[in-house]
Amino acid sequence: MTDSLKCEQIPYCALAAEYGTPLYIYSQQAMTAALNQYQQAFASLHPLICYAVKANGNLSILRHFARLGCGFDIVSGGELERVILAGGDTSKTIFSGVGKSSTEIEFALHNNIRCFNVESLAELARINTIAARLGKIAPISLRINPDVNAHTHPYISTGLKANKFGIAYQDAIAAYQLATTLPHLKVTGIDCHIGSQLTDLSPLIEALERMLLLVDKLAELNIELEHIDLGGGVGIVYQNEDVPDLAAYAAAVARLLSGRNLQLMLEPGRSLIGNAGGLLTTVEYIKQGEEKNFVIVDTAMNDLMRPSLYQAYHNILNVSTATTDEFVADVVGPICETGDFLAKDRTIAAKEGDLLLIQSAGAYASSMASNYNTRCRAAEVLVNGTDHYLIRRRETLSELLANEQSCLKSV
């Protein structure tokens, strides 16, 4: 986003006038620039950068990253279908997640994915059984839980003993030894992912150091790995965070991997798309309550869950030309929940009919949207310079209700 009133070269007001609100807007140039930062920082290591589809799985966004050479990190069969439809390379796709179904595993094997990031012994056995039935050898990597505190929100922390993700660090060697005995598995790597929105490099480096201790122990047991996957999780600026320096991160990784024949994989999601997107909303009412003021907008928690779910901060700008006096208010949506808020106690200048931009809404916004209160999902637009494209049209009520039917017969 290059101008507070424009996405690239297109005024926000023009986009809202053409497509309506709520409206997700993405900058293609910002996505490209974010990926370039990774590619330049890690250039000497030649990593496979796998965009985390869960952050935002719009087909046009996936297609853009695929054209730029990205692989993909998926967590469901549905996300694999998205990668395929977007022209992504399944041989550069890794399948993460704790609950892979038999159907999803079979689908992934038929489409020759790069590897499964396996998160339990039960999953190891299931993949081996399905691969045997299909006459295939399944490439697998074990996701190890390094028990490193990422110092992030507890809902997005994934690397502690109490979290559901990965195989316990102390059980890792035994798990690898078991994997090597299963005839339809090929052990290819090691993986970890300690959390999301990380603003400090030290947990990432600590996790890598702990992973490399395992790599060395495995080598002593003649279990040689081909790759190491450090996951994603690098944070972005929502408010005033000090985010990790990718060049410093890459230098530390290069130092630790020096002399090792391990391909590096990374799974960035939020850091590629988060700040490339925004959410436009229109002010419906200004309401003065007994204790608080409220700016009531046409966007709600079903469009942007992060503030309600994580108490997350998103900066909000008034992108209308006319200004009013500032006041303190909660910015809230129409949903019948007290938890339906987009900002609390925010100093804002707004009046009825104004257009507001909720910034940093590229990641975990549209991908987490729902139809709560029978609200139709918002449209999505991709901007590239002076061009803009509708990449998801606004859902209609007839579409929303199409799969429902009454089971009651009239009398």
**For residue range 58-93, what is the model confidence (pLDDT) as tens digits?**
999 999 999 999 999 999 999 999 999 999 999 999
Confidence of residue 160 (pLDDT cuts 50, 70, 90): very low
Q: In the predicted model, what is the mean pLDDT of residues 241-260?
A: 93
**pLDDT > 70: what percent of the chain?**
94
pLDDT of residue 200: 84
pLDDT of residue 406: 78
Confidence of residue 1 (pLDDT cuts 50, 70, 90): very low
Query: What's the CATH code, domain 274-396?
Result: 2.40.37.10
Q: Is 67 part of any known ligand binding site?
A: no
Q: State the residue for tokens 């490193």.
A: 148
Whether residue 3 has pLDDT greater than 90: no
pLDDT of residue 17: 97
Q: Where are the domains of the chain?
A: 28-270, 274-396
Cα dihedral 352, 358, 362, 368 sign: negative
Cα dihedral 90, 96, 99, 102 sign: positive
Whether residue 353 has pLDDT greater than 80: yes
Q: Is 26 part of any known ligand binding site?
A: no
Average pLDDT along the chain: 93
Whether residue 409 has pLDDT greater than 80: no
The topology (CATH level 3) of 28-270 is: TIM Barrel (3.20.20)
In this structure, are residues 367 and 303 in contact, taking their beta carbons and an 8 Å threshold?
Answer: no
Q: State the residue for tokens 């590229």.
A: 362
CA atoms within 13 Å, Cβ hemisphere of 164: 6
Q: Is 233 part of any known ligand binding site?
A: yes
For every residue of 188-215, DSSP letters joined together read: EEEE---BSSB--HHHHHHHHHHHHHHH
For residue 322, CA distances in Å to 19, 283, 350, 351 come to 21, 13, 9, 9
- Of 35-44, 45-54, 79-88, 315-324, the poorest mean pLDDT is in 315-324
Q: Is 364 part of any known ligand binding site?
A: yes
Q: Known catalytic residue: 70?
A: no
CA atoms within 13 Å, Cβ hemisphere of 368: 16
Confidence of residue 151 (pLDDT cuts 50, 70, 90): low
Q: State the residue for tokens 């998926």.
A: 74
Phi/psi region, residue 308 (left: phi>0; alpha: psi -120 to 50; beta: rest), is: alpha
Among the options 192, 336, 376, 407, which is catalytic?
Answer: 336
* Verdict on whether the full-model pTM lies above 0.85: yes
Whether residue 169 has pLDDT greater than 50: yes
DSSP one-letter code for 349: -
Q: In the predicted model, what is the mean pLDDT of residues 328-332?
A: 97
Confidence of residue 137 (pLDDT cuts 50, 70, 90): very high
Between CA 178 and CA 132, with CA 188 as vertex, the angle to 5 degrees is 60
